[in-house]
Chains A and B, each alone.
Chain A
Amino acid sequence: MRTLLRRPLLLVGMLCLALVAACGHQAADRSPHAIDPWIRLAPPGAGMLAGYMVLENPADHTIELVSVSSPAFASVEIHRTEVTDGVARMVAEPRVSIAAEGRVIFEPGGRHLMLHGPAQPLAEGELVPLELVFDDDRHLRINATVRRSAEAETNDDPHKHH
């Protein structure tokens, strides 16, 4: 400590380093991130699976998700299920806008990743790599867990005692 106080240049240097580190840390925090990405377990032979997650954008400007890919699937598209007059249809969403400090939800019955052509059948609990690309060329690599149901829905067994 005494050394630092005697060498003001060293002190200033260390403070600058700390400041840069802090700025760098803040910039990393502003990247989009995915919460609880999961893929619904599908029967063997299913050609189309669905992926879900909450996608957050902590930046101070709108970003757009422009493409998604995975080595585990031939192609990935973004779709939204809409039910109109009782009829369910899928609407393609080539780009998804996420507002500044906002989030976009991918969930059953709503927006989802349409995962086409699995390279091989997926097992429950398996982690599947996904790469999300944004309009600012940022890439987000995530691992989606293969599950039968959404977490919140797995506990409605009346005979289960907690």
Chain B
Amino acid sequence: MSRPARIVVYIISALLAALLGVLFAQRMEPAPEVRALVLDAPRQLPDFALLDHREEAFGPARLQGRWTLLFFGFTNCPDVCPTTLDTLARTVRLLQDLPVAMQPVVTMVSVDPMRDTPEQLAAYVPFFNPEFVGVSGPMDQILALTRGLGVAFAYTPAASGDSESYSVEHTASIFLVDPQGRLTAIFSTPHKADELSAEYRWILRQYG
């Protein structure tokens, strides 16, 4: 073989080796069975003006700077919401080894603003973890946020007919919002602390 030809062969071999190396390296980080729906492109949230349980303004600006695990519920919920809050408390405990700036902020937005005043949320949400945030406010602002996320909710009368005891059907998914305030992923039920924390870690690694 002539010298130039040999050089071409060497170069091609080197490129092939490099390509194989890259492919092999990618296989070393196997993509897990991620059940979460990870959006192809993070979605900007609509504008909304609500209050947190300390009656401080809660709008899109509050979702900047930290990852947020956001979900929708109400304090008169016996099963789903306390279970979700408890699962999230355990999820956050499993993520305590992460730098604080990478740990998620858990936020529950009430779909029952009539009964869930900031005061009511203050007695409820921090019980599961003192860092958790409860959010409520005017119905039109709650709707602005729920519509932007595709969250549905409806009021159903209590079997007893008592007008104060109505229940609320609501989307039970947990929404992951990135530090730029964009919807990044959706975790549908059932929720398990070990699965949520593992998928959260995986998503953070993808985002660098």
A: which residues have CB within 8 A of B? 40, 42-50, 75, 77, 79, 81, 83, 86-90, 92, 108-109, 112, 114-116, 148-149, 153, 156-159
Give the chain A neighbours of B128 by CB distance below 8 A. 43
Q: Which of B124, B171, B194 contacts A156 (CB 8 A)?
A: B194
Give the chain B neighbours of A46 by CB distance below 8 A. 75-76, 82, 124
The 6 A-B pairs with the shortest beta carbon distances in the complex, nearest first, are: A43-B127, A88-B172, A89-B169, A48-B78, A108-B83, A50-B78
Give the chain A neighbours of B165 by CB distance below 8 A. 116
B: which residues have CB within 8 A of A? 75-80, 82-83, 86, 90, 93-94, 96-97, 120, 123-125, 127-128, 152-153, 156, 159-160, 165, 167, 169-173, 188-190, 193-194
Q: Least Cβ distance of B110 to chain A in Å?
A: 14
- A88-B80, A92-B159, A156-B193 in contact; A43/B167 too (CB < 8 A)? no
Give the chain B neighbours of A89 by CB distance below 8 A. 156, 167, 169
Give the chain B neighbours of A49 by CB distance below 8 A. 78
B190, A109: Cβ atoms closer than 8 Å:
yes
- A86-B188, A89-B169, A90-B167 in contact; A48/B77 too (CB < 8 A)? yes
Tell me the bound Cα distance from A149 to B84 in angstroms.
11
Q: Which of A40, A83, A90 contacts B189 (CB 8 A)?
A: A83
Q: Least Cβ distance of B37 to chain A in Å?
A: 10
Give the chain B neighbours of A42 by CB distance below 8 A. 82, 127
Tell me the bound Cα distance from A77 to B79 in angstroms.
13
Q: Least Cβ distance of B187 to chain A in Å?
A: 11
A148, B86: Cβ atoms closer than 8 Å:
yes
Tell me the bound Cα distance from A86 to B188 in angstroms.
7
Q: Least Cβ distance of A155 to chain B in Å?
A: 10
Tell me the bound Cα distance from A161 to B165 in angstroms.
44
Q: Which of B90, B97, B190 contacts A149 (CB 8 A)?
A: B90
Q: Least Cβ distance of B79 to chain A in Å?
A: 5
A sample of 17 cross-chain residue pairs with beta-carbon separation below 8 angstroms, ordered by A number, consists of A43-B127, A43-B128, A45-B120, A46-B124, A50-B78, A75-B160, A81-B79, A83-B189, A87-B172, A88-B171, A89-B167, A90-B78, A90-B156, A90-B169, A108-B79, A112-B79, A157-B93
